[in-house]
C-alpha cells in the first residue's frame, strides 16, 4: 500500500511499509538545471526562480505602464472635453458677468485630476526604480537616523560584525573600501523604503548580491572560491543589520504559518519512531546523545540572525542525524534513512518560528548556498520534512483512518496498543526481556494495590473500634455501678484519750 504525499511546490514524498522515501531527483530544480529546488519557489532553484520572477515582474511593469498611459489618455480626453464645455460656459457667462468667477472651481478640478494622474504614474515607478537613484537629501538623512547600523540596542554585536567585516576587507585594499561603501549605501537606501513588502525587499537584496558577485568575479578573474568568501562576509554584514525588518515582517503571514505548524506538531506528539521506520535506537547512550544534539541544533537556528548561520545549525543537526543512524546500523546512512529521521527530529523538537526561519533563509540567503552543496541538500530535505508533516495522514503512517483519528483526538495512544500486541506475541512463545520486565513490574504493582486495599480495610476497622470503645467502656462502668452501688459510711472521729 503506497500513499504519495505531494505538495505543489515539487516536493514529492512517498510513504511505504519500509518507511518514508523521497526520490533524490525530486529534490532538484523542476527545470532540470541540476541545482537543488526549493519549496518556497515551487520546486525551482533560486536562479530559475529569479528568471521567472523577472519575467513576471517585467510583464507587470509593462501592464502597469500601459494602464497608466490609458488612464492618462482618458483623463486628457476628459480634460479637453471639459475645457471645451467650460469655454462655452465662460463665453455665455461673460455676457452677463464681467468677472470670470467660474475659473476657480475649474482650476481646482484640473489640479486634482493632474495630481491623481501623477500619483498613478509614479506609483509604478516607485516600486521598480533603482534604490540608489535620485534620493532626496532630506530622505537620505531620515534613512540614516533609522538605519539598523546605528540602532544602539544591539551596538556591541553590530560593532563586532563591523569590525570583523572591516578587518576582512583590508586584505582587498581599494576594492575592499568600495565594497564597504556599497554595502553601507545599500543598507541606508533600503532602510529608507519602509513601504517595501517582503518579496520586494528580498528582490532588492538578491539584486545587490548578484551585482556584487558580478563585480567580484571580474576582480578575482573567475575565482569562485574568493568570490564566495567575500559574499559570505557581505551577507553577514548586511543581514545582521536588516534582521529586524527582514525577519517575519508584518506584511507577511509568516507568524500565522508558525502558529499553524507548531500546533500541527503538538497534535502529532503521539507519532512514534517505529511509525516513521527510523533506524535509530535511542536506548544506546551514544545515539541518544546525538539525537539530543540534533534537537538542540535545530532549535538553536531561531537564535541566529544571519541566513548562513541558520543554515549552519541545520547542517549540524543533519550531521548528528547521519551519525546517529551510522552508530545504530554500523554502516553509512542512506538518503532513505535520513528523511524519516529528520521528520522525527522536527516532531520531537518543534522548533520555534520554523516557517519564519525557512522563509528568511529563502528570501535573504546567498542564492549559491541554496543551489549546490551540503547545506542546500539539508535545507531542501528540511523543507520536504515540513511539507510531509503538514500533509501527514493515516495512510502516511500505515494506519487506518479510525486509528489515526483516535490518536489525534487523544482517545488512544499507539504506545499502549503496541505494548498489548507485544504481550499477545509473548504469550504465543516469543520472549522479550523488556516485556518480561514490564510484566513483572505489573505483577508487583498489582500485589501492592491488593496490599494497600487490605491495609485500608484494616485501618477503617481500627477507626471504627476506636469510635465505639468509649461507649463500651461507659456501658460497662454503668452496669458495675448499678450492680454494686457505692455506699458511703459516716465518718467517726475517735477521742484522743479514748484508751
Q: Are residues 221 and 346 in the same domain?
A: no
Among 209, 227, 246, residue at a domain's last position: 246
Structural domain includes residue 315: yes
Looking at the domain assignment, is residue 473 inside a domain? yes
258 lies in the same domain as 370: yes
CATH number at residue 210: 1.10.246.120
pLDDT of residue 323: 95
Task: Give the pLDDT score at 88.
Answer: 65
Written in H, E and C, the secondary structure of the chain is: CCEEEECCCCCEEEEECCEEEECHHHHECCCCCCCECEHHHCCECHHHHHHHHHHHHHHHHHHHHHHHHHHHHHHHHHHHHHHHHHHHHHHHHHCCCCCCCCHHHHHHHHHHHHHHHHHHHHHHHHHHCCCCCCCCHHHHHHHHHCCHHHCHHHHHHHHHHHHHHHHHHHCCCHHHHHHHHHHHHHHHHHHHCCCCCHHHHHHHHHHHHHHHHHHHHHHCCCCHHHHHHHHHHHHHHHHHHHHHHHCCCCCCCHHHHHHHHHHHHHHCCCCCCCCCCCCCCCCCHHHHHHHHHHHHHHHHHHHCCCHHHHHHHHHHHHHHHHHHHHHHHCCCCCHHHHHHHHHHHHHHHCCCCHHHHHHHHHHHCCHHHHCCHHHHHHHHHHHHHHHHHHHCCCHHHCCCHHHHHHHHHCCCCHHHHHHHHHHHHHHCCCCCHHHHHHHHHHHHHHHHHHHHHHHHHHHHHHHHHHHHHHHHHHHHHHHHHHHCCCCCCCCCCCCCCCC
Residue 444 in domain: yes
Domain shared by 374 and 303, yes or no:
yes
237 and 274 share one domain: no
Residues 261 and 363 grouped into a single domain:
yes
End residue of a domain, out of 222, 246, 270: 246
Residues 287 and 382 in one domain: yes
Residue 284 domain-assigned (yes or no) = yes
My answer on whether 336 and 460 are in the same domain is no
The pLDDT value given to residue 225? 86
Q: Classify residue 32: in a domain, yes or no.
A: no
| 485 found inside a domain | no
Q: Does residue 238 share a domain with residue 261?
A: no
In a domain, 416, yes or no: no
- Asked whether residue 204 falls in the same domain as residue 63, the answer is no
Domain containing 160 equals: 152-246
- What pLDDT tens digit does each residue of the chain (499 aa) get? 334 444 444 454 444 434 555 555 555 666 666 555 666 555 666 566 566 666 666 677 777 777 777 777 887 788 777 776 766 666 555 555 554 444 444 455 455 555 555 554 454 444 444 444 444 434 334 444 444 444 454 578 888 888 999 999 988 878 888 999 999 999 999 988 888 899 899 999 999 999 999 888 888 776 788 889 999 999 999 999 999 999 999 889 999 999 999 999 999 999 999 999 999 999 999 999 999 999 999 999 999 999 999 999 999 999 999 999 999 999 888 888 999 999 999 999 999 999 999 999 999 999 888 888 899 999 999 999 999 999 999 988 889 999 999 999 888 888 655 545 544 444 444 445 667 778 888 888 988 999 999 999 999 999 998 988 998 899 888 888 888 887 777 777 666 665 5
Per the domain annotation, does 497 fall within a domain? no
Residues 280 and 402 in one domain: yes
Are residues 302 and 372 located together in one domain of the fold? yes
- Domain of residue 341, CATH code: 1.20.1050.80
Q: How many domains does the chain have?
A: 4
Which of 409, 424, 455 is the last residue before a domain boundary?
409
pLDDT of residue 441: 86
* 282 and 257 within one domain: yes
pTM confidence score: 0.61
Amino acid at each position: 500500500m503506497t500513499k504519495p504525499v505531494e505538495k505543489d511546490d515539487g516536493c514529492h514524498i512517498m510513504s511505504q511499509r519500509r518507511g518514508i522515501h523521497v526520490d533524490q531527483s525530486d529534490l532538484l530544480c523542476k527545470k532540470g538545471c541540476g541545482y537543488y529546488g526549493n519549496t518556497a519557489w515551487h520546486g525551482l532553484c533560486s536562479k530559475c526562480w529569479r528568471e521567472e520572477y523577472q519575467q513576471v515582474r517585467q510583464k507587470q511593469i509593462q501592464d502597469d505602464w500601459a494602464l497608466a498611459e490609458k488612464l492618462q489618455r482618458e483623463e486628457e480626453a476628459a480634460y479637453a472635453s471639459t475645457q471645451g464645455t467650460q469655454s462655452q460656459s465662460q463665453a455665455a457667462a461673460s455676457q452677463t458677468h464681467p468677472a470670470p468667477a467660474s475659473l476657480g472651481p475649474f482650476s481646482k478640478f484640473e489640479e486634482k485630476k493632474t495630481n491623481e494622474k501623477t500619483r498613478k504614474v509614479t506609483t509604478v515607478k516607485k516600486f521598480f526604480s533603482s534604490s540608489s537613484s535620485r534620493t532626496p537629501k532630506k530622505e537620505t538623512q531620515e534613512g540614516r537616523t533609522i538605519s539598523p547600523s546605528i540602532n544602539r540596542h544591539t551596538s556591541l554585536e553590530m560593532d563586532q560584525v563591523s569590525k570583523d567585516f572591516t578587518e576582512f576587507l583590508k586584505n582587498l585594499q581599494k576594492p575592499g573600501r568600495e565594497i564597504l561603501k556599497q554595502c553601507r549605501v545599500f543598507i541606508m537606501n533600503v532602510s529608507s523604503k519602509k513601504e517595501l513588502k517582503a518579496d520586494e525587499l528580498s528582490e532588492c537584496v538578491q539584486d545587490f548580491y548578484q551585482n556584487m558577485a558580478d563585480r567580484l568575479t571580474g576582480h578575482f578573474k573567475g575565482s569562485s572560491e574568493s568570490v564566495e568568501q567575500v559574499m559570505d562576509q557581505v551577507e553577514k554584514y548586511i543581514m545582521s543589520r536588516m534582521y529586524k525588518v527582514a525577519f517575519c515582517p508584518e506584511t507577511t503571514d509568516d507568524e500565522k504559518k508558525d502558529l499553524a505548524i507548531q500546533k500541527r506538531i503538538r497534535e502529532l506528539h503521539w507519532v512514534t519512531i517505529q511509525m516513521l521506520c527510523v533506524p535509530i535506537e535511542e536506548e544506546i547512550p551514544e545515539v541518544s546523545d546525538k539525537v539530543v544534539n540534533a534537537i538542540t541544533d535545530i532549535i538553536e537556528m531561531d537564535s541566529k540572525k544571519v541566513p548562513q548561520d541558520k543554515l549552519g545549525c541545520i547542517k549540524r543537526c543533519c550531521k548528528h542525524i547521519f551519525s546517529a543512524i551510522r552508530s545504530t546500523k554500523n554502516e553509512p546512512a542512506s538518503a532513505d534513512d535520513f528523511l524519516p529521521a529528520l521528520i522525527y527530529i522536527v516532531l520531537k523538537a518543534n522548533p520555534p518560528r520554523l516557517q519564519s526561519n525557512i522563509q528568511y533563509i529563502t528570501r535573504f540567503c546567498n542564492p549559491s548556498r541554496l543551489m549546490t552543496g551540503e547545506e542546500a541538500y539539508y535545507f531542501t530535505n528540511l523543507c520536504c520534512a515540513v511539507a510531509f508533516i503538514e500533509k501527514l495522514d493515516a495512510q502516511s503512517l500505515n494506519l487506518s483512518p479510525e486509528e489515526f483519528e483516535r490518536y489525534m483526538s487523544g482517545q488512544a495512544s499507539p504506545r499502549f496498543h503496541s505494548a498489548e500486541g507485544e504481550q499477545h506475541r509473548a504469550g504465543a512463545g516469543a520472549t522479550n526481556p523488556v516485556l518480561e520486565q514490564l510484566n513483572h513490574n505489573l505483577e508487583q504493582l498489582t500485589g501492592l494495590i491488593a496490599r494497600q486495599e487490605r491495609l485500608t480495610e484494616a485501618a477503617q476497622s481500627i477507626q471504627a473500634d476506636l469510635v465505639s470503645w468509649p461507649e463500651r467502656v461507659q456501658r460497662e462502668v454503668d452496669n458495675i455501678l448499678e450492680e454494686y452501688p457505692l455506699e458511703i459510711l459516716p465518718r467517726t472521729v475517735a477521742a484522743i484519750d479514748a484508751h
